[in-house]
């Protein structure tokens, strides 16, 4: 297949587009097309190997270029999925936890379902807490033989 005739951009245009890319993946896609245009690679497999891509990925790049053009290869992709909760819901959850209204993951699960309509399993709630760096808050352990008011009496009597 004569790739040089099927690629509509010039080598200089492809080099310019490649230099403008800040995303490494997009830069590799343009480089793949440029290598085929310059005839430094005679096949999609050779071009893919030159930039450390797999054959199937090279085939996908070529198919996308043929069907949609160079602009489709370098378009900005959408943001990754960050979860079911919005930023305001996360701040409400933090306030709920700060007010000591939850004593277990089940309480957090019930709060999210009731207040925000977001359904999580217990494992999902645990993962959300881990992702948001929310840790279980517990008090200091107390010795079983300690008298109930002994600490306060000690502080009153020993401090000047």
* Mean pLDDT, each 10-residue run in order, the chain (160 residues): 89 93 92 93 93 94 93 80 85 90 90 93 92 80 82 77
- The Cα 24–Cα 53 span in angstroms is 13
Tell me the whole-structure pTM to 2 decimals.
0.52
First and final CA of the chain: distance in angstroms? 93
Q: Which residues contact 111 (CB under 8 A, 6 or more apart)?
A: 93, 96, 101, 102
Q: What is the pLDDT of residue 40?
A: 93
Q: What is the pLDDT of residue 101?
A: 85
Place of tokens 């043929």: 66
Q: What is the pLDDT of residue 45?
A: 94
Q: What is the pLDDT of residue 159?
A: 63
Q: What is the pLDDT of residue 81?
A: 72
User: What does the block give as tokens for 55?
Assistant: 């054959």
Plot region of 133 (φ>0 → left; ψ -120 to 50 → alpha; else → beta): left
Domain layout of the chain by residue ranges = 3-73, 87-131
Least Cα distance to 48 among 31, 65, 67 occurs for: 31
Q: What is the pLDDT of residue 65?
A: 93
Q: What is the pLDDT of residue 160?
A: 62
- The Cα 57–Cα 31 span in angstroms is 13
């Amino acid at each position: 297949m004569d790739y040089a005739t099927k690629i509509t951009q010039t080598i200089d245009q492809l080099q310019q587009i490649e230099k403008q890319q800040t995303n490494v993946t997009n830069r590799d896609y343009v480089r793949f097309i440029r290598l085929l245009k310059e005839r430094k690679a005679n096949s999609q497999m050779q071009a893919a190997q030159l930039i450390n891509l797999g054959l199937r990925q090279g085939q996908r790049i070529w198919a996308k270029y043929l069907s949609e053009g160079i602009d489709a290869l370098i378009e900005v992709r959408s943001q990754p999925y960050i979860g079911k909760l919005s930023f305001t819901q996360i701040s409400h959850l933090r306030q709920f936890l700060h007010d000591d209204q939850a004593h277990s993951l089940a309480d957090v699960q019930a709060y999210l379902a009731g207040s925000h309509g977001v359904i999580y399993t217990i494992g999902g709630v645990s993962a959300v807490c881990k992702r948001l760096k929310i840790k279980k808050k517990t008090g200091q352990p107390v010795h079983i033989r300690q008298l109930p008011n002994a600490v306060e009496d000690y502080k009153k009597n020993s401090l000047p």
